[in-house]
Structure 1
Amino acid sequence: MQEKIIILDFGSQTTQLIGRRVRELNTYCEIVPYNKFPKDDDSVIGVILSGSPFSVYDEKAFRTSLEGIRGRIPVLGICYGAQFMAYSNGGTVEPAPSREYGRAHLEKFDSGNPLMHGLDQRTQVWMSHGDTITSLPEGFNIIASTDKVAVAAYQVDGEKTWGVQFHPEVYHSTQGTQLLRNFVVDICGSRQDWSAASFIESTVAALKEQLGNDRVILGLSGGVDSSVAAVLLNRAIGKNLTCIFVDHGMLRKNEFRDVLRDYEGLGLNVIGVDASQKFFSELAGVTDPERKRKIIGKGFIDVFDEEAHKITDAKWLAQGTIYPDCIESLSITGTTIKSHHNVGGLPEKMNLKLCEPLRLLFKDE
């Protein structure tokens, strides 16, 4: 079973970035809502709590129980995550005299603490918080401070549980990757055996097992996501994959023709459909970007559905859904960041099972 780090998402704008940094350490991770920890998953080797747009004392603040996690699995709280653990265990979190946003330096830290290993004196970190921890619960010990923040980082006695009030995942925390490496590799014990390259072999094998001799239909957009999904599926099932490439009229000049030729050069079994006039008429006069996306998404499904029904023995619909699609379409705050036409389920009339080989990958992976 693939070992993994779980990131509990409390709604921070940098949650995805934490995930990227962990994967850059050749360690697989998954981002899940703050209250959806997979309790029965024995492959979890560590947990990271993200930041949040809320204060821990807000009525609407996201809260969860860490019972069964703390003391059993290493935990690292970042910003809100650190404040949440302190506050929920009897510590005090209060509004800072002024919001601290920007560069700071660790004026002192415990260089012998495993989380701080290898950090330079006065290493630069990035702060972004309006609250600060003013008192820690019993058993929580300060391991780092800045000139303005006494509790920049802490560890809990007798536990592999840490909290940092700064953001190690961002570029401006100059040794943030080192701190995350200390947690993920040295503390959690990651074998660092995961990579996007290793994903290819394991995914092709998994697709062969999942799909067998079934026929699969995939909608191509001309973009990276669906194209990579198509090549993976082609490696797994060959001609049992039928791709449908819909021209919605928003491609570059001659791109539909050129990309269709490239797809055929990749050995894909592909059907090209020029539906540009349909989309032009439906988008006429529309200026709102979100409405445009919904019109294009619905139009794509309508055209695709019409073509797919011509393939009578297909059992699966494949899509190039990637990880950010899932996260952005509905954040844990309940607010849509951006809708994606390939997230949210299939039209019931298609009566196909869903296959998403890239669902757990970021785009650059």
Structure 2
Amino acid sequence: MRTIGALAFLLASTSLTLAGPVENDSFIGQMGAFNNAFVSQATGNNEALTLQGGVGNFAVTRQDKAKSNTSDILQFGTGNFATANQKGKTNDQSTLQVGAFNTATTMQRDGAKNASTISQFGFGNGAMVDQSKGDNSQDTLQVGGLNFASINQTDGSHGSNTSSTMQFGWGNDAFVNQDGGRNDQTTLQVGRGNFASTSQSDVIGHNGNDSSTTQFGWGNMSFARQAGGNNSQDTFQAGGRNFATTRQLSFIGSNESSTAQFGIGNTAMTAQIANPLGSNDSLIVQAGYQNTAIASQSGVQTSWPVGGSNLQRTIQIGSGNYALTSQTSSSGLSNTSVTAQFGYRNTAIAIQH
């Protein structure tokens, strides 16, 4: 067993740790000025912790084609940058950065369990996580600054894939892509310039795909795409000039989508295809004025009486609202559309086949 530990209270410090095979273990702690830390560990029971205090922070942890990986990087002040790269087996990674030029990149590949947590609090926030063919789980929290988060998770061994992204203030962006597991995703963004894109796909069989997006502020945009599972999606937007689009394609099951928008000039678009035995269910609620709701629902077209029924409910409260519903059902099955508008100068159009 090789264990390398360093604790440095320095004004200018650089630490490099290279640990050989078997049971790796590394600890680096630094407080003060031009902090740098590098850790590389090869196959073993890898574990690495890097703690840095102030000014020039920079940390790289790489645990090669490792086994029982865990990595923690904590950085507190100024030039924060952190990257961790772990390959193989029971991956786990946490990155916490508190102040200034925050950037964090975590990649865990071809491993078993894959879990990652990134928390960043102030200013230049960015986070990118790429987890591949494990069970995949991810949490990202960013509080203030030029927030950006991109999470990409694949496979999930036909089980997990879960992701939660929270961003509170300023230039919020979030992109999530999950593929091959049961997929579950939550995005909450609160202030200024919010944008969220969620894509979940390739679930085969019973259930799968679940996503919720909540945004507060002005000019919010939300894109959700779900395929291959039974699909469920919730989008909630409050403010003005909000835009939400939801696209769902199910595999032997049903699509469900709810979109609620409060404010002015909101637009909601929902497209659902039930394939081949399912049904579509969509609810759009808009309160304010000059809101637009567009819903398109269809079942697979076959010569047999399969495919499900379409159900669309649109509720609009205010003035100058516009609602369009288009439904196409499969052989012998039904379309149901309910549109309720409260206010004046509202327009509703329903098309059923």
Could you say which TM-score interval applies, normalised by the shorter chain? under 0.3
Choose between structure 1 and 2: higher strand proportion.
Answer: 2
What TM-score do the two structures reach when normalised by structure 2?
Answer: 0.22
What TM-score do the two structures reach when normalised by structure 1?
Answer: 0.21
Choose between structure 1 and 2: higher helix proportion.
Answer: 1
